[in-house]
Each structure stands twice: as structure tokens, then as C-alpha cells.
């Protein structure tokens, strides 16, 4: 049975493995090859079990370890056309097989993955919806300034969703960041606030999603407790009382956490 392993989730680096110790796919490779291989092995997964790396966008916290990892383990890379072009120009693919993944999808290691657009200040940012070999569906959707109709449509029907809950609005406003950075984070092409994330989670739970992972929390402008409190305030009493869903906050760095769906 496929599981999701949230290996790294923060502005310092992102990587999520979906599959089993026998094989699976990696969403992003935003930390060094050494740290990524160590995190996989901590979870009983050899790096050679990664059948492909799917890249959401070109920011360093999502591709920082891509070049070395794919060079060491000859792992294919899948991304949007714009992101692949950027990776090629930066000589980050090191001769490994590279393919475009879009709305029509791509198959790798028995997993079928489709991409959907996410509003973020990157070259061509996407999220991924993943169909596993055992018939389960999950999605990884971080680095978005707001939830679009396309995103809402793509996430609906997933058994598990890893969704960004990056910042608390008050903490961001009162925090130490310079004003231009605060403005960028809170923009429609920045990151998703706790409140906007919670609204989407409420819709997902009402439509049948039963596993929720909050990801990409800011170290400076959020905490797991604040994100969870905002979510519970938004969900309302009835959903809280009839709690037939599971909520998890993705760790900044792997703690051996894995979730079935």
C-alpha cells in the first residue's frame, strides 16, 4: 500500500516521497543529496527506489538537491515545459531523462501524475495529483498565493491532500520581515495563509477528503499550533465533533512520519 512520506517541508527545503520502500516517486528535491538520501533511508527507503523526481517549480527550496541526486542515482525528472527549460539552461539535469508533465499526465514507476497550475511568483509553478498503483489518489499543492477554481477542482476527490498553510496573517504583519517581502508573501502569487488554507480544507473535507497534511509552514510567521487553531476555528463545531478525518502538520525535517491514504 502506497504511503506519503513528508521528508522536508519549509522555506528551507521541500521533498515528499510517495510510494513504498520497493518504489515510488519524489515530489521536489529541495535539500542536498546527502540529506535527502539520509531522510529516505531513515524511512527504510533506498534512494534507488525513487523512480522519478517531479519538480513543482524552479525555486531553490524545491530544486536545491536535484542536480546531485539525479546525477548520483540516474533518476528521471518530470516538470512543466517552462521549468524543464530552466533546469536545462542551468545544467541541472546532468544527462538524465527529462519529460514534460502537464494536464494530460505522465506515468513513472506505475504512478500516474497530472499537473495543475498554481499561482506563485515562479517561472511556471504547478501542483501534482498522483494516482498510485494500488488505486489511491493524493495531491501535493504548496507555494500558491490563492486557491483557484482549477486547484479546487483538481484537489476534489483526493483521499489525501498535502496543502500549504504558510503564514499567520497577524504574525506576518507584526514580524521582522521587511515590508516588500511581507507584501510578496501575502500577494495573490505568494504563499497561502492559514485562513485561506483552512477554507480550502473545509471544502475538501465536505467533499470526502479524509487525510489532510498542512505543509510549507513558515518558521518566522507561523507555528503548527497556530495553523491547527485557525483550521479548527474555520471548520466549525459540527465537523470537529464528528472528526472522521486525520490532520497532520508536515515536519520541517523528517521524523519518520508516513501516512497511508
Residue range 178-219, pLDDT digits in tens: 999 999 999 999 999 999 999 999 999 999 999 999 999 999
Phi-psi region of 140 (alpha: psi -120 to 50; beta: other; left: phi over 0): beta
5, 81, 89, 250 from 20: Cα distances, Å: 9, 28, 33, 18
- Residue in 193, 192, 195 with CA at minimum distance from that of residue 231: 195
Tell me the pLDDT band of 256, cut-offs 50, 70 and 90: confident
The CA distance from 38 to 199, in Å, is 35
Q: 244 pLDDT band (50/70/90 cuts)?
A: confident
- Given this model, what pLDDT does residue 95 score? 80
What's the confidence (pLDDT) of residue 241? Answer: 66
Q: pLDDT confidence of 1, banded at 50, 70, 90?
A: confident
Residues 26-80: tens digit of each pLDDT:
999 999 999 999 999 999 999 999 999 999 999 999 999 999 999 999 999 999 9
Task: Name the residue among 192, 258, 260, 185 with its Cα closest to residue 231.
Answer: 192
- How does strand 111-117 pair with strand 160-164? unpaired
Beta-carbon-side half-sphere exposure of residue 256 (alpha carbons within 13 Å) = 2
The Cα 228–Cα 195 span in angstroms is 10
Computed over every residue of the chain, the mean pLDDT equals 95
pTM above 0.85, yes or no: yes
For domain 3-260, give the CATH superfamily. Answer: Ribonuclease Z/Hydroxyacylglutathione hydrolase-like (3.60.15.10)
Rounded CA Rg of the chain? 17
Angle (nearest 5°) at CA 152 between 23 and 57: 55
Amino acid at each position: 500500500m502506497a504511503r506519503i512520506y513528508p521528508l522536508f517541508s519549509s522555506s528551507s527545503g521541500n521533498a515528499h516521497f510517495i510510494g513504498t520502500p520497493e518504489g515510488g516517486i519524489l515530489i521536489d528535491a529541495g535539500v542536498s543529496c546527502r540529506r535527502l538520501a539520509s531522510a529516505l533511508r531513515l524511512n527504510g527507503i533506498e534512494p534507488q527506489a525513487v523512480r522519478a523526481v517531479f519538480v513543482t517549480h524552479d525555486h531553490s527550496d524545491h530544486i536545491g538537491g536535484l542536480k546531485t541526486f539525479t546525477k548520483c542515482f540516474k533518476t528521471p525528472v518530470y516538470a512543466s515545459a517552462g521549468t524543464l527549460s530552466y533546469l536545462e539552461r542551468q545544467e541541472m539535469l546532468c544527462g538524465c531523462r527529462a519529460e514534460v508533465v502537464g494536464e494530460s499526465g505522465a506515468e513513472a514507476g506505475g504512478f500516474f501524475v497530472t499537473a495543475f497550475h498554481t499561482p506563485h511568483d515562479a517561472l511556471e509553478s504547478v501542483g501534482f495529483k498522483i494516482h498510485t498503483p494500488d488505486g489511491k489518489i493524493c495531491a501535493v499543492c504548496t507555494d500558491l498565493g490563492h486557491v483557484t477554481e482549477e486547484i479546487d477542482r483538481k484537489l476534489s476527490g483526493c483521499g489525501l491532500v498535502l496543502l500549504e498553510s504558510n503564514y499567520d496573517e497577524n504574525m506576518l504583519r507584526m514580524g521582522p520581515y521587511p515590508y516588500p517581502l511581507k507584501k510578496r508573501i501575502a500577494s495573490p502569487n505568494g504563499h497561502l495563509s492559514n485562513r485561506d488554507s483552512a477554507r480550502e480544507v473545509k471544502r475538501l473535507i465536505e467533499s470526502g477528503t479524509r487525510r489532510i497534511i498542512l505543509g510549507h509552514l513558515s518558521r518566522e510567521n507561523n507555528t503548527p499550533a497556530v495553523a491547527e487553531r485557525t483550521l479548527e476555528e474555520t471548520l466549525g463545531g459540527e465537523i470537529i465533533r464528528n472528526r472522521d478525518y486525520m490532520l497532520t502538520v508536515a515536519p520541517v525535517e523528517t521524523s519518520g512520519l508516513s501516512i497511508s491514504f
